[in-house]
Structure 1
Amino acid sequence: MSLTSDDTILAFKAGRAFRTDGTNTVVPDPTKGAIIIERGEDELLHFLWKNRTTNQADEDLILFPTDASFVRVPQSDGRVYVLKFSSSNQRHFFWMQDASSQRDEEFIYHINKILEIPGYIPVWNTRPSSSQPEASTSSQAASSSAPAGQPSQEQLDQLRSLVNQMSGGAATPEPELSLTDILTPAVLTPLFTSHPDLIPSLFPQLPPDLPSPPSAEVLSDIIASPQFRSAVVTFDRALRTGMLAGLVRQLGLPEEAGTGAEAFLRAIAEQARREGGESMDTD
């Protein structure tokens, strides 16, 4: 069975490494492995570590744009890297297992672009180096000049201009707003600390096994969890496909509120403004 699939975006040989308890020392594990990034059936981005001997995925981490980065561990002597998250203290260590370090930086460049830009697809440099004709170098991949057989940025800009002229000068539409851009730990966490009165109103919607009432720290852990992020993705997708028409009507919102995240949020804000004004009139 192959390590990769049709959903694989990037893959390279890498082993895991583990921090020694009570120290900052990271020790590489000799088990042969591979880092694989792929788009799962849930349409989320998955960071997998697979054992190359058993073909089993021993780690499966869900990634969200701008929430993680893959960087070299400066204190290490070898080719050791860490996957770290801005929304939590998670740290996952890996070491490069390819015999040559020729393509290390190229892999790291692309993996961080995938973590940074939704929908990013790596374009690999195919130009040979002088020392190893079969391998490409990171400096070539990161340079502004295009690889052989690939259009340059200037050529792409010219193509976009021509397409724009042929379509009557219509501008390229801005990407649609997504709930995943808004319901992030960076946005929500400050609300819990600056507006503690929100917590009691959220409590009835939370799992019953949480402390009563939950603290701001507990809520922060919830919104940083893969389960919450997956629920946000599902809700956003349902909004875009019109599956929540019945829900928006039950909420007293206009039907167009069920056509996308921006329309939904605008309708919620208008409803809150209207109800706030009515309550002030009755005081």
Structure 2
Amino acid sequence: MDSSSTEAVPVMQEILLEFRAGKMCFEGKRVMPDTRKGLVRIGRGEEGLLHFQWLDRTQNVIEDDQIVFPDEAVFEKVNQASGRVYLLKFKTDDRKFFFWMQEPKAEDDQQLCISVNDYINRPLEFLEEEQSVASTPLQVSEGTVEENIPSSSSLRPVKLEDLQRILSNIESSDIDVDPDAGFGLGDLLKPDLIMPLLETLPLEQSLASYLPEGPWSPEDILELLQSPPFRQQVDSFTYVLRTGQIDLSQFGIDPSKYKFTVLSFLEALEDSVSKMSNSEAGQDEKDVRSESNLMDES
């Protein structure tokens, strides 16, 4: 998820790490420093996921919010830069976020970098175990803006705001991730698979109610499907599906008949649609027979 200050940002249930750093913005092919005083915050949201945030330290406003899954990103020093520049780089797409350190002691930068990578790549269950015994967050900076955030509260059901229409009442589960889970939903969104469908099927009409108002061409829809925010939402859905943190009955699926894998989920949806089509066909046939009988009686 990629949020800005104009969007609703999840409240952090627990702050794990904070340090002072400004962000850098792309200007053409160059990366220029934003001169504002900033703060990088790593925390766990109410939904149980890890967030990497950047705040305007003066205004205490969260401008950037990224959900990071284990082994999805790396935080590293940009050796080509002359200053204390660091980069949050995602492995699954082309997202890159540059920061320039504002902590007074440059000798602490390396340890901060190690701590960031430790948190963003730590399995989620480790974060949950830590949360139950957590006391105070690791804060490198002094005098930074503080928020009243509970340090010890019970875990809430996982609710991804980005998928709120689909993922309601998601509960914790003891089901382990299947190591042979196979491909993710994101694998189905490759241009060579999607474009033929967009060009041959009236998908614009089917998707119109879910898209912002205005004309949408197949190319526009493809660009949306490939955008980093959308891809991360898809990855979020894949994650909660594989870990069993979703109630399949919401989709009319009997959980006892299918596995928590993307392939099994798609098979279940296909079966559900097939049953629905057969039911509608049977109803249409019944209506035709009724009309025929009425005509015979008349």
Shift of 1:107: 2.0
Deviation at 1:105, TM superposition (A): 1.9
The DSSP-based 3-state class of the residue aligned with 1:103 is: helix
Tell me, which stretches of 5 or more residues in structure 2 are unaligned?
A: 1-10, 131-139, 141-174, 276-298
Find the aligned partners of 2:238 and 2:189 in 1 and give their Cα distance: 20
C-alpha deviation, 1:49, in angstroms: 1.0
Ranked by relative contact order (alpha carbons within 8 Å, sequence separation 6 or more), the top structure is: 2
Asked whether 1:14 is paired with 2:21, we answer yes
Q: Tell me whether 1:54 sits opposite 2:56 in the alignment.
A: no
Q: Cα distance 1:80–1:235, how it changes in 2: closer, same or farther (>3 A)?
A: closer
Q: Distance in 2 between matches of 1:174 and 1:238?
A: 11
* Code of the aligned partner of 2:88: L
1:93-132 alignment, distance < 5 Å: 93-119=98-124, 121=127
Aligned-pair CA distance for 1:81: 1.1
Q: Hey, what does 1:247 align to over in structure 2?
A: 251
CA distance in 2, matches of 1:43, 1:71: 25
Q: Distance in 2 between matches of 1:263 and 1:202?
A: 25
SS state at 1:98 partner: coil
Equivalent residue number for residue 265 of structure 2:
265
**Residues of 2 paired with 1:94 and 1:5: CA distance?**
21
Within a 5 Å distance, the mapping from 1:229-248 to structure 2 comes to 229-230=232-233, 233=236, 237=240, 240=244, 243-245=247-249, 247-248=251-252
Distance (whole Å) between structure 2 residues aligned to residue 75 and residue 86 of structure 1 = 20
For the 8 Å contact 1:177–1:261, the answer to whether it is kept is: no
Matched AA of 1:214: P
Q: Which moved more, 1:85-94 or 1:71-80?
A: 85-94
For residues 202 and 235 of structure 2, the distance between their equivalents in structure 1, rounded to whole angstroms, comes to 16
- The alpha-carbon deviation at position 13 of structure 1 amounts to 1.7
Structure 1: 5+ residue stretches without partners = 124-134, 136-172, 276-283
Given candidates 40, 49, 62, the residue that maps to 1:35 is: 40
SS of equivalent to 1:78: coil
Greater shift in the superposed pair: 263-272 or 206-215: 263-272
Q: How much has 1:257 moved relative to structure 2?
A: 4.1
Structure-1 separation of matches of 2:93 and 2:238: 23
Q: 1:112 to 1:248 in 2, by over 3 A?
A: same
Query: For each residue in 1:48-101, what CA deviation from the matched residue of structure 2 results, as whole angstroms up to 9, or x when unmatched?
Result: 112333322122233344443322222211111122334554432211111112
Change (3 A) 1:72 1:241: closer
Number of equivalent positions: 212
On the 8 A contact 1:178/1:236 being kept in 2, the answer is: no
With normalisation by structure 1, the TM-score equals: 0.55
What is the TM-score when the length of structure 2 is the normalising length?
Answer: 0.53
Q: Distance in 1 between matches of 2:252 and 2:60?
A: 45
Give deviations 1:199-227, integer Å, cap 9, x for gaps: 45692246345766523x74354254435
Residues 94 and 212 (structure 1 numbering): CA distance in 2 closer, same or farther, change over 3 Å? closer
Q: Secondary structure at the match of 1:226?
A: helix
Deviations 1:143-167 (Å, cap 9, x if unpaired)?
Answer: xxxxxxxxxxxxxxxxxxxxxxxxx
* Distance (Å, rounded) in 1 between the aligned partners of 2:108 and 2:235: 36
What amino acid is the match of 1:256? S
Change (3 A) 1:18 1:232: closer
Letter in 1 for 2:265: L
- Cα offset, 1:259, TM superposition: 6.6
SS state at 2:188 partner: helix
How far is the alpha carbon of 1:196 from its aligned partner? 4.3
**Aligned equivalent of 1:148:** none
Distance 1:180 1:15, change over 3 A: farther
Contact 1:223 1:229 in 2 (8 A): no
| Cα pair 2:224 2:230 within 8 Å, conserved | no
Residues 65 and 223 of structure 1, relative CA distance in 2, 3 Å threshold: farther
Distance 1:241 1:85, change over 3 A: closer
Q: Partner of 2:158 in structure 1?
A: none
User: CA-atom RMSD, angstroms?
Assistant: 4.4
Instruction: Tell me the residue number matched to 1:183.
Output: 185
User: Structure 1 residues 183, 13: CA separation in 2 closer, same or farther (over 3 Å shift)?
Assistant: same
Q: Hey, what's the Cα distance between the residues in 1 that align with 2:256 and 2:229?
A: 29
